[in-house]
Amino acid sequence: MSAVTVTTWSLEQTSPIDLLPAAAPEGDVRIVRSEVPSPEFSRFLYASVGGDIHWTDRLSWSRARWQEHLDRPGVETWVALDRGTPAGYVELEPQDDGVVEIVYFGLLPDFRGRRIGGHLLAYGAARAWDLADRWPGLAGTKRVWLHTCSKDGEHAMGNYQRRGFKLFDTKVEEEAEAPTPGPWPGAYTT
């Protein structure tokens, strides 16, 4: 199996004033919190958004593993809906000492390039900053961070920077090249 060089960039905001807004997209686009932890729905979002950009780390998770993750206090999924259809999502995960990671963020392929991503990212980052307001017992947010890599969409880094995220770390590693999984088996075969 051949190897591919992957660059991973870590970005952060250290104050809510770092967050820069994005224009709302045209049409009936709403962002709602998925308040009922649903392994099936979360796996659908993960596989559908990440299928063409090599998200694979959670594909082997069992339903029980998904449920365990989603039941952790402070883990939230915010979903962008375009006329009622899931268009993308942002997943927040609290960490120690008031740190919140935007663990996953992205759009389903058919919804990219329509200005939904910037709006969803800004909304998700704002929800990371006020996460403790919804979860008594969590420390107030002092830092919001995320990472992106050279396998992600070509506009990812620019979107993060336009929302006020600043680069704090870069890593370059060799990874085994894997086939693009797609949202379901055979999705990219003709």
**Residue 91's CATH number:** 3.40.630.30
Would residue 100 count as lying in a domain?
A: yes
Host domain of residue 47: 3-176
Mean pLDDT across the chain:
93
Spatial separation of the C-alpha atoms in residues 33 and 52, rounded to whole Å: 24
The H-or-E segment that residue 167 falls in is strand 166-176
Would residue 154 count as lying in a domain?
A: yes
Work out the pLDDT band at 4, boundaries 50, 70, 90.
confident
Domain count, the chain: 1
Would residue 188 count as lying in a domain?
A: no
Would residue 119 count as lying in a domain?
A: yes
The predicted-structure confidence for 31-60, as pLDDT tens digits, reads as follows 999 999 999 999 999 999 998 888 888 999
For residue 186, the model assigns a pLDDT of 56
The predicted-structure confidence for 59-82, as pLDDT tens digits, reads as follows 999 999 999 999 999 999 999 999
pLDDT at residue 29 tops 90:
yes
With tokens 């329509």, the residue in question is: 114
Work out the pLDDT band at 184, boundaries 50, 70, 90.
low
Structure tokens belonging to residue 134: 């919804």
pLDDT at residue 154 tops 60:
yes
pLDDT at residue 86 tops 80:
yes
Would residue 97 count as lying in a domain?
A: yes
With tokens 């590693």, the residue in question is: 173
Would residue 67 count as lying in a domain?
A: yes
Would residue 142 count as lying in a domain?
A: yes
Work out the pLDDT band at 190, boundaries 50, 70, 90.
very low
Q: Which of 6-10, 158-162, 184-188 has the lowest mean pLDDT?
A: 184-188
Residues 6+ apart with CB under 8 A from 145: 10, 11, 12, 13, 99, 100, 101, 102, 165, 168
Spatial separation of the C-alpha atoms in residues 179 and 79, rounded to whole Å: 27
Would residue 187 count as lying in a domain?
A: no
pTM beyond cutoff 0.85: yes
